[in-house]
Structure 1
């Protein structure tokens, strides 16, 4: 990949889109992860205003530390970057007092994890509206179009997606060029939605390099019968998630009313 030219292409695309939309810049949620680090840096390179927002909800200390380190890095290198911290833990806890928490624990935990992402989306759009900015998405290609590893109307609710055509390995290539802090480059990818140190691989059952391989195999029209052992297991994981999460990746279904029924 021609990494420098890819960076230039994305930065130009971001700047042109914002100028045409007549907005002031971008809002980015900072998680301490590689995707938000790359996205926020690309936005910063446009020269337009960038607001980085920390939104902890019982966040693992390591995530908070990495996020703050990255924001410090951005502000020291780009004069157009500002930041704000919105602690959503009290909001989340109050929400839990008003809803039912009965049911199978794993299902309740997942519903609450998705609620965290949706509270953060609401916060990003609050500040975006306040400051006339766009919410920049941080999803990569494997997450957004492969396994659907994001929350519908949570981190999937954005105005534009600058890195959604890049595989995770390609995001890392950009990160190194953009001099993203070493602590973020070396950290295991994690969505941080459960308040602990579990990684994306822990949740998915496969690493990003494995998922990229499976994505390529599907594009080449391979079948489960073509593989054995770990490759077969990863292929099945990818296919299962790709199928079950189509509702996130496909347009919302619309019930089309026949013309003859609309006529009185």
Structure 2
């Protein structure tokens, strides 16, 4: 884990400043606020780097969000502007449009959304929402990606959903390192240690993955792992999900 979390925190803040100096000196940072540790920490880092007046939090419940109060606590504690956009109606409308689409049942052999589609559609709607909000801000915006390195390693994200964004402060930090940074920030500490969950499936991240972040973090950082089956599962997830972090491949004709 981090030998000097304070130095890393300061470097992260400077990295965000440098990014905006080069890619939008007057832009705001738009952060989707879920009420979990990652979005909370990213919002706090952006506030440190840019000032509260240049950070906008967007809360995006899908109908009813059980931990919406945590998200509200974040924006109120940080003193940043925020917008609440309930994507529930948009999700229902899109879902209905798909399953009622001409030829849908014939082509797919079903009259509903698959479990994966039902889980991944809301994050994609949320990303579209963040960019729409950003493009309506007076000085423009850059959208923060809030995924951490542990999630990225095993592909625990939605392609073109929460895996997207303009800049990614936590992409090279594993979960415990993110928590090390979080403990140094002026944020509610219970959110730093909150059980990670996608807020979509009703399960914790670790329940869905089948192993703990502590095991994953250790393996990523040291290559050490005690259970061979878990090692094989992590390697499999890493291999099949690499496409989520790679640029779209494109054909290059001979000139």
Q: How is 1:9-24 mapped onto 2 (pairs within 5 angstroms)?
A: 9-22=11-24, 23-24=26-27
Given the superposition, is the C-alpha separation of residues 107 and 238 from structure 1 closer, same or farther in structure 2, using an over 3 Å criterion? farther
State the SS of the aligned residue for 1:83: strand
Give distance in 2, aligned partners of 1:231 and 1:148.
20
User: Are the counterparts in 1 of residues 37 and 193 from structure 2 also a CA contact under 8 Å?
Assistant: no
Q: Which runs of 5+ in 2 are unaligned?
A: none
Task: Answer yes or no: is the 8 Å Cα contact 1:215–1:238 preserved in 2.
Answer: no
Counterpart-to-counterpart distance in 2, 1:85 and 1:106: 28
Number of positions where the alignment pairs a residue of Structure 1 with one of Structure 2: 241
User: What is the TM-score with the length of structure 1 in the denominator?
Assistant: 0.84
Match runs of 1:19-34 below 5 Å: 19-22=21-24, 23-34=26-37
The yes-or-no answer on 1:247 pairing with 2:246 is no
How far off its partner does 1:186 sit? 3.2
Question: C-alpha distance in 1, partners of 2:70/2:180?
Answer: 19
Q: CA RMSD in A?
A: 2.2
Q: Paired residue for 1:54, among 59, 69, 73?
A: 59
TM-score (norm 2): 0.87
1:91 maps to 2:87:
no
2:127 paired with 1:121: yes
* Partner residue in 2 for 1:135: 143
More helix by share: 1
Gap regions ≥5 residues in structure 1: 76-80, 260-264
- Show structure 1 runs of 4+ deviating over 4 A: 101-107
**Aligned with residue 209 of structure 1, among 206, 210, 214:** 214
| Residue 73 in structure 1 maps to residue 77 in structure 2 | yes
